[in-house]
Amino acid sequence: MSIDVTPAQLSRRTFLKSSSLAGGGLFLGFSWMVSCKDNSTAVNDNLPEEWIKVSGYIKIATNGKITIMSPNPEGGQNVKTSMPMIIAEELDALWKDVIVEQAPLDTENFTRQFIGGSQAIRQGWRSLRTAGATVKQMLKQAAAETWQVPADEITASDGQLFHAASNKSGSYGEFVAAASQQPIPEDVALKEVNDFKLIGTSQKNVDVKKIITGKPLFGIDTFKEGMLIAMLVQPPAFGMKLKDFDGLEVKALPGIRDVFAIKTYNEDYKWQFFDTCSFMDKVVIVGESTWQVIQAKKQLESKIQWELNDALEITRDRFGTDQTLTFPAGLESSKDHMDKMKQLVSTKGTEQRKDGNPEKVFAQASKIVEKTYSAPFLAHNCMEPMNFFAHVTENSAFLSGPLQKPEFTEKTVSARLGIPLENIEIEMTRLGGGYGKRSYAHWLVEAAIVSQKMNAPIKLVYSREDDMTSGIYRPTYMAKYKAALGDDNSLLGLQVNAGGTPESPLYANRFPAGTIENYLAENWIIPSNITSGSFRAPSSNFMASAEQSFLDELAEEMGKDPISLRLELLENAKSNPVGERNDYDADRYAGVLKLVRDMSNWGEEKEGVYRGVSAYFCHNTYAAQVVDLTLENGAPVVQKVYCVVDCGIVINPDAANNLIEGAIVDGIGNAMYGKLDIKDGTPEQQNFDRYRIIRMTEAPKEIEVRFVENSIDPTGLGEPAFPPVMPALANALYKAKGKRFDHQPYSDYL
């Protein structure tokens, strides 16, 4: 069996470059070995005063304690535990001796220091392993020189170094100072998967004790001496802007320090990719306490005048290329969006993929199966409302709070404040929910602007209503699927036409593309001034529902079992694929379907139990699910969800299982109840009294999760199990109710 060596036969210069670009952020530079004081607040016995920092990730103390910096924000997906586990595995550290700290934003020592797209583990896999293996090799070399033995005779285990022939041993702490003088190895051997001892074992969340004892971990917990509270008032409707306001009376209220207007982004500013913001001009109230500011805000709202906004075009940097965003004028409504989408979904869209001659087979088809699917805007509704702390001085800024993409937001803050990047420090707190919403951290910019104006530390807090009405929603979508059947009910062709407001959800090269000789995929969009953005499993969260619901309806028309039809199509993609752009592995896709079929005993009828199935590929991961539900007094009750996931190597099984269970509950809740309606530019659901989310009694009674065991590099887990549960639920509801659930939320049609 070959040994995985990284980087293989590369010069040191190439090694430095490739490791820093690999995604996880291994830093090997002039400060690769420096002494630094430990600033940890963790409670541990015998913490030394002096640590040796041996990489952008790792600090080792002379007593053997190891601190591993977790570079990416933690939003409940457990990367703060799983990423250090990967380093500790290759380092051969004893996990109980590892202290994990959240790293601040540090673009010199880390790269891709953000969460999104379920890519943190996938992108960091090689870099994190290399960091651990490199430090271990340097420790071994230091021990070899001390003991005067060959380095390749030294082994490492549980934070100890051994030389069997001379019976010598020592802890990492004994050799870390000498290791700091070693040259960086040009290549290091990574472990074989079969040799993993820590990866693949269940380890507790490193923050669990702090979470359950209420320690301050979240941005909303932030308190600094002299800190003021800020809240804002934004336009009451999309398509409106600030005209004028009178803040004199409010400013005179007890505890209120100031009332003024701010502009989030200057008009000549070129947006970064995540600089999405619905309202540029807002009125800010600054005071001494949250309660005082809330009361002042209520009075201020009646003293502000708003006016209609003009159409707007914004240019933003889309990772190195310019992208133009169009925001039309006017007050929009969800009903108008649906009417326009119904028109567009029935007309020819922009062709994205075409295989064979779909027009011909549809013209000659014996039967055409057709169905249209839709879904509304969704609000993220993170349990922790948007907030950020800022302390801006004349030429520096300290910022602290929950956000997903600090690398991008830092550039925005620098441009807006006129402060150099090197003078800006961003500390990442634990996210009380993210799901994509905290990628768009304009509230960080707003907090910084207010702090700069007030010349004081500021905590900006959004109310629930501020959060739910400020945009960046999951877009509203619509898709039409059509299938052409022959005389023998054989599948001759498939068409999909999909779009949305203000973006299309179409993935033209995903399954069932590549399985059918005649295939057509088209799309379209409707520009809107209602801002939208990433929402857990972007676009997939709708397309899975449409695609997998249609395949079930198609299977029924063809007289086939739903799983059998999917497997037949995947066999086509494997044995005789159509096209060269299919972005899935047919074997792995079929594998999760077969496993969930066997796991759930699919085909065995149970009296009073209605079953639905689905499978979907997104974020480099395959997931298949079976939903079992019953009817109690006519209302659906999800009894059990079976789920099989192929995500490659599983780092931390308990954490992975938790992610899948959370995604399933979240998916059922959004499919059944999630809806945000817009009327004349105003969101109709502005708090939880009208925006329905899933309740504890509505969660599945049981969830059984199984992971495909293989040695493939790990992929994503935070999002892939979310989309497929929606159509699995819809397909089960059809069995129970005898009608198709084509439009979300499903509860509207029960």
**pLDDT at residue 17 above 70?**
no
3-state secondary structure of 286: strand
**pLDDT at residue 11 above 60?**
no
Torsion angle defined by CA atoms of residues 559, 562, 564 and 566, in that order, rounded to the nearest 10 degrees: 120
Stated pTM of the model: 0.92
At residue 89, the pLDDT reads 97
Q: Which two tokens stand for residue 261?
A: 């207007």
Query: What does the chain come to in residues?
Result: 750
Task: Give dist(CA 185, CA 198) in Å, integer.
Answer: 24
- Picking from 668, 572, 574, 663, the residue whose alpha carbon sits closest to that of residue 621 is 663
DSSP assignment of 195-254: G-SSTTS----TTHHHHHTT-S-BGGG---TT-EEEEEE--SSTTEEEEEE--HHHHTST
At residue 45, the pLDDT reads 39
Taking the CB of residue 54, how many other CB atoms lie within 10 A of it? 24
End-to-end Cα, the chain, rounded Å: 57
Instruction: Evaluate whether 517 touches 346 at the Cβ level (below 8 Å).
Output: no
Residue type, 323: Q
Task: Give dist(CA 349, CA 496) in Å, integer.
Answer: 10
Dihedral pair phi/psi, residue 613, rounded to 5°? -130, 155
Q: What is the H or E stretch that residue 320 is in?
A: none
pLDDT tens, 596-650? 999 999 999 899 999 999 999 999 999 999 999 999 999 999 999 999 999 999 9
Task: Give dist(CA 715, CA 588) in Å, integer.
Answer: 13
Q: Which two tokens stand for residue 323?
A: 């992208």
Instruction: Determine what percent of the chain is predicted with pLDDT higher than 70.
Output: 93
Higher pLDDT, 653 or 120: 653
Domains and CATH numbers, the chain: 4-212 (3.30.365.10), 219-313+386-461 (3.30.365.10), 348-378+473-749 (3.30.365.10)
Residue type, 156: A
Q: Which residue do the tokens 């796991």 mark?
A: 599
549's CB contacts (< 8 A; 6+ apart) are 371, 373, 727, 730, 731, 740, 741, 742
Task: Give dist(CA 718, CA 619) in Å, integer.
Answer: 9
Task: Give dist(CA 302, CA 114) in Å, integer.
Answer: 40
Task: Give dist(CA 103, CA 95) in Å, integer.
Answer: 19
Instruction: Evaluate whether 522 touches 496 at the Cβ level (below 8 Å).
Output: yes
Residue type, 309: N
Q: Which two tokens stand for residue 258?
A: 């100031």
Span 701-718, average pLDDT:
96
Q: Which two tokens stand for residue 688?
A: 């939880």
pLDDT band at 385 (very low <50, low <70, confident <90, very high): very high
Instruction: Evaluate whether 61 touches 161 at the Cβ level (below 8 Å).
Output: no
pLDDT tens, 98-137? 999 998 988 877 777 888 888 889 988 998 999 899 999 9
Task: Give dist(CA 99, CA 88) in Å, integer.
Answer: 11
Alpha-carbon 300 to chain mean position: 36
Residue type, 702: E
Task: Give dist(CA 294, CA 271) in Å, integer.
Answer: 31
Instruction: Evaluate whether 721 touches 714 at the Cβ level (below 8 Å).
Output: no
235's CB contacts (< 8 A; 6+ apart) are 241, 242, 279, 306
At residue 605, the pLDDT reads 87
Task: Give dist(CA 612, CA 602) in Å, integer.
Answer: 10
- Picking from 375, 308, 399, the residue whose alpha carbon sits closest to that of residue 538 is 375
Instruction: Evaluate whether 484 touches 383 at the Cβ level (below 8 Å).
Output: no
pLDDT tens, 309-365? 999 998 888 888 998 888 999 999 999 999 999 999 999 999 999 999 999 999 999
- Picking from 425, 432, 436, the residue whose alpha carbon sits closest to that of residue 390 is 425
For helices 653-673 and 540-558, the axis angle rounded to 10 degrees is: 80
Higher pLDDT, 494 or 716: 494
Instruction: Evaluate whether 65 touches 172 at the Cβ level (below 8 Å).
Output: no
CA angle 356, 358, 360 (to 5 degrees): 105
How would you label 182-192 residue by residue, b for 16+ Cβ within 10 Å and e otherwise?
bebbeebebbe
Q: Which two tokens stand for residue 385?
A: 């409302």
